[in-house]
Amino acid sequence: MEWETVIGLETHVQLSTNSKIFSGASTEVGAMPNSQACAVDIALPGVLPVLNKEAVAKAICFGLATNATINKKSIFARKNYFYPDLPKGYQISQFEIPVVEGGSLTFKAGENTKTVRLTRAHLEEDAGKSLHEDFIGMSGIDLNRAGTPLLEIVTEPDMASSLEAVEYARTLHTLVRWIGICDGNMQEGNFRCDANVSVRRKGDSTLGTRREIKNLNSFRFLQQAIDYEIQWQIDELEEGRPIVQATVLFDPDSGDTRLMRTKEDAHDYRYFPDPDLLPLSIDEAWIDNIRTSLPELPDSKSSRYQESYGLSADDANSLVSHANTAAFFEATLSHCDVSDKAQAAKLAANWMNGELAAGLNREQLEVNQCPVTPESLSALILRIVDKTLSSKLAKQVFDELWKGQTSVDAIIEAKGLKQISD
């Protein structure tokens, strides 16, 4: 209890564009290695980058969703470092003036409501990928990812535990999928976090020396890595050994972190404006147009569900965990022709967060692949409301719907499930 933790996250969000950020090469996943790397991506002499407008639009969309400042003028820079899968020997990124500055994200961490300030969100290109598994004594290089558009979202050091860091990451993950800028596939590396972790004595206002844990692509690994790193740093300091700023990797098998390299600071990357790219100019009309296209955001929708239908915060938040889940819920309600919409909404939430969610999880399906349609679920709810079915009998009908039956009334008739009332 003598120590406190300070955490900031940097999250790389792969933007869901059809082509790369500075070339027309495809971003489709699963192609043969190096089959989607064009002359720009592999840095042939004389080629020039051309900025992808859709990537900028998605960055603006994120800035609006987090109440950030959209800079009308931003600059692309060259971030110079050597890595085998970085063909140019530098990465095109943004440094001094990013496209998005400020903003915040609010979420629940246990019983507490937490707001994390965002420092910036800047556009940059991804590097390629080093392949080690299929080569004996060598590594292969796949440049299909080189040039893939990323939005790097950087927080202030506002988090004090692995729980807060994970809940922030979950909330951000929900948001970027909700507004349609990223598919959020963590297994494919489309949403990955770097955690900057430091510890200090309680009451000390000076930040401790941080260590950065790179490329965490699951919420479980994020929590495990931070917890290990916190305890490691405390042990080192209590043994009288100073913490050296460094970049480390988390090993899920052993559960510990290992040194990757001593950490560079900004001056080590020798940033300078990219001479091949003009400053990015964004006019107010474009921002306004994107603002009008934004969907109702998860927090707002959750609050509306609670106020309009009397749903609990947990039920409402589960329903807005994904845009497709909320759409399924609203489609179900739209087919419920009952006077008491609140009753129908509570029943719909119970079925969606209960039997339906369990079935999707069991068969590893997304809600838009659900065998039970909103129309069928609403018909089931109507038969519960009019007391044709008890909850126990409704479960039998639901099981038949899951198997592919489509008519609730036909299932009730065929199986003789109509409830007998006195």
Q: In a 3-state reduction of DSSP, which class is residue 110?
A: coil
At 305, the pLDDT band (50, 70, 90 cuts) reads very high
Report the alpha-carbon distance of residue 90 to residue 108 in Å, rounded: 39
1: which DSSP letter?
-
Question: Residue 98: pLDDT above 90?
Answer: yes
Q: Mean pLDDT of all residues in the chain?
A: 93
Question: Residue 261: pLDDT above 90?
Answer: no
79: which DSSP letter?
E
Neighbours of 270 (CB within 10 A): 12
pLDDT at 414: 87
Question: Residue 419: pLDDT above 90?
Answer: no
Please tell me the pTM assigned to this model: 0.90
Lowest mean pLDDT among 17-31, 93-107, 254-268, 284-298: 254-268
The single residue listed with the structure tokens 């090993």 is 251
> What's the burial of 128, exposed, middle or buried (CB within 10 Å: 0-12/13-18/19+)?
buried
